[in-house]
């Protein structure tokens, strides 16, 4: 009987002990679960707080960016100093306009001019925002509107002046053409007047006394082919076009000059500087598409194999020196 009571007592004590351990374990598990839930909640709060902070920062940055762009134009007015009239501008640069609108995400509007003087006047009176001009045209424009500046240059392949003679002529050097008649383009043309004239001056010749220089503009090549003048001074690409048209054996390069400054996209001083910087960046990044759109019309073959580069006013100091050397007015 004593053994039976002892066994029952031992069993009860064992059950009590197990119950206490279970309660302790349950309490510990409950505590752990509560702590885990608290940690998750805290982490969620931190994440939400972090997301809110990031969203607020992004919103503030967007608001700041929008505020910074409040003075940016909604339309960019474009002109080319070498294209006369709206119809011609649309024909030569229509695809360029569409591509530029896509690249800049802004409307581009054409402004027709008849020459560099009208282009400079339009820039001066805030009728145009961006001009495409040759290097000679740019120095004239900048003289009229000193705060205007180039921001993208078009670096052209083989852009320099050359002296061309007939294959059967006796002329071999520049010395040989002293006393001859030379056909050039119009006054102020970079490759057809300023360039070749500068070469002759730098070589020590007197333009007035050593040569009979005739500014024949669009008929210069025909006059040379017809032997109405002895020498043709023009851009090197005219020589290649003549050879392509008439074949080898008719004309010969007598002298080639150094590379000429780039054509330039010129910004109005009325445009915000940060806007021009953005346009410059986008044009340089998308130059292949933009140049393709300029070439696709077949009217701007001078830009074949060209490329965009950053431009600044100092790039055109050589043109200013040439003007001064020639005694030409910037007007």
- What confidence tens digit (pLDDT) does each residue in 105-156 have? 999 999 999 888 899 999 999 999 999 999 999 999 999 999 999 999 999 9
SS3 of residue 19 by DSSP: helix
Do 287 and 152 belong together in one domain?
yes
Q: Note the Cα 238 to chain centre separation in Å.
A: 26
Q: In the structure encoding, which two tokens stand for residue 120, read together?
A: 């400079």
* Alpha-carbon dihedral angle through residues 90, 123, 132, 198, given to the nearest 10 degrees: 130
Contact assessment for residue 152 and residue 172, using Cβ atoms and an 8 Å cutoff: no
CA distance 137 to 156: 16
Do 151 and 191 belong together in one domain?
no
Buried b (16+ CB within 10 A) or exposed e, 214-223: eebeeebbee
CA distance 62 to 80: 35
CA distance 36 to 171: 98
Quick one: pLDDT at residue 312?
97
Q: In the structure encoding, which two tokens stand for residue 51, read together?
A: 């997301």
Strands annotated E in the chain = 75-80, 107-110, 130-133, 149-155, 161-166, 181-184, 212-215, 231-235, 251-256, 263-267, 307-310
308/117: higher pLDDT? 308
Q: Which helix (H) or strand (E) holds 35?
A: helix 2-68
- The answer as to whether 1 is a domain residue is no
pLDDT at 9 over 60: no
22/93: higher pLDDT? 93
Its pTM stands at: 0.74
Local confidence band at 7 (pLDDT 50, 70, 90 cut-offs) = very low
Q: Please tell me the total count of domains within the chain.
A: 3
Give the DSSP per-residue string, 181-212. Answer: EEEE-STT-IIIIIHHHHHHHHTT--HHHH-E
pLDDT at 291 over 80: yes
What CATH number is given to the structural domain containing 243?
Answer: 3.40.190.10
The residue with tokens 């340089």 is 284
Do 40 and 170 belong together in one domain?
no
The conformation of residue 296, written as its DSSP 8-state character, comes to: T
Quick one: pLDDT at residue 26?
45
SS3 of residue 154 by DSSP: strand
Computed over every residue of the chain, the mean pLDDT equals: 86
Q: Which helix (H) or strand (E) holds 172?
A: none
Do 147 and 196 belong together in one domain?
no
Q: Note the Cα 82 to chain centre separation in Å.
A: 18
pLDDT at 241 over 80: yes
- What confidence tens digit (pLDDT) does each residue in 195-232 have? 999 999 999 999 999 999 999 999 999 999 999 999 99
Do 115 and 245 belong together in one domain?
no
Q: Kindly report which listed range (68-72, 157-161, 305-309) carries the lowest average pLDDT score.
A: 68-72
- The answer as to whether 2 is a domain residue is no
Q: In the structure encoding, which two tokens stand for residue 261, read together?
A: 């400054």
Do 82 and 62 belong together in one domain?
no
Do 147 and 296 belong together in one domain?
yes
**Of 46, 68, 90, which marks where a domain is finished?**
68
Contact assessment for residue 143 and residue 313, using Cβ atoms and an 8 Å cutoff: no
The residue with tokens 């090197």 is 236
Q: In the structure encoding, which two tokens stand for residue 72, read together?
A: 């940016």
Instruction: Please give the backbone phi and psi of residue 109, each rounded to the nearest 5 degrees, phi first.
Output: -120, 135
**Of 222, 239, 256, which marks where a domain is finished?**
256
Q: Could you tell me which residues come within 8 angstroms of residue 198 by beta carbon, excluding any fewer than 6 positions away?
A: 257, 322, 325, 326
CA distance 110 to 100: 12
Range of the domain at 116: 75-158+262-326
**Of 224, 256, 288, which marks where a domain is finished?**
256
Find residue 190's DSSP bridge partners.
none
CA distance 101 to 95: 10
Pairing of strands 75-80, 130-133: parallel
CA distance 82 to 116: 7
């Amino acid at each position: 009987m004593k053994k039976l009571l002892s066994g029952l007592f031992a069993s009860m004590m064992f059950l009590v002990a197990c119950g206490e351990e279970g309660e302790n374990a349950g309490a510990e598990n409950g505590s752990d679960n509560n702590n885990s839930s608290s940690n998750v909640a805290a982490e969620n709060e931190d994440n939400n707080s972090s997301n809110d902070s990031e969203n607020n920062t992004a919103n503030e940055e967007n608001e700041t960016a929008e505020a910074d762009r409040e003075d940016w134009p909604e339309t960019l007015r474009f002109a080319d100093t070498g294209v006369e009239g709206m119809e011609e501008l649309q024909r030569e640069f229509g695809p360029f306009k569409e591509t530029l609108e896509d690249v800049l995400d802004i409307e581009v509007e054409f402004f027709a001019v008849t020459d560099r003087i009208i282009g400079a006047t339009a820039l001066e009176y805030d009728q145009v925002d961006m001009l495409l001009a040759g290097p000679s045209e740019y120095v004239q424009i900048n003289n009229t509107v000193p705060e205007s500046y180039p921001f993208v240059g078009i670096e052209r392949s083989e852009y320099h002046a050359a002296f061309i003679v007939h294959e059967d002529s006796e002329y071999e050097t520049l010395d040989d053409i002293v006393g001859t008649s030379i056909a050039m383009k119009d006054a102020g043309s970079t490759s057809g007047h300023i360039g070749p004239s500068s070469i002759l001056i730098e070589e020590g010749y007197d333009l007035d006394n050593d040569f009979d220089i005739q500014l024949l503009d669009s008929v210069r090549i025909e006059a040379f082919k017809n032997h109405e003048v002895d020498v043709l001074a023009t851009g090197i690409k005219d020589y290649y076009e003549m050879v392509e048209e008439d074949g080898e054996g008719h004309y010969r390069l007598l002298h080639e000059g150094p590379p000429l400054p780039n054509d330039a996209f010129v910004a109005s001083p009325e445009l915000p500087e940060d806007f021009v910087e953005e346009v410059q960046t986008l044009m340089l990044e998308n130059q292949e598409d933009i140049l393709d759109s300029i070439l696709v019309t077949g009217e701007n073959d001078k830009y074949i194999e060209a490329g965009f580069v950053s431009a600044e006013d100092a790039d055109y100091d050589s043109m200013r020196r040439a003007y001064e050397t020639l005694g030409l007015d910037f007007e």
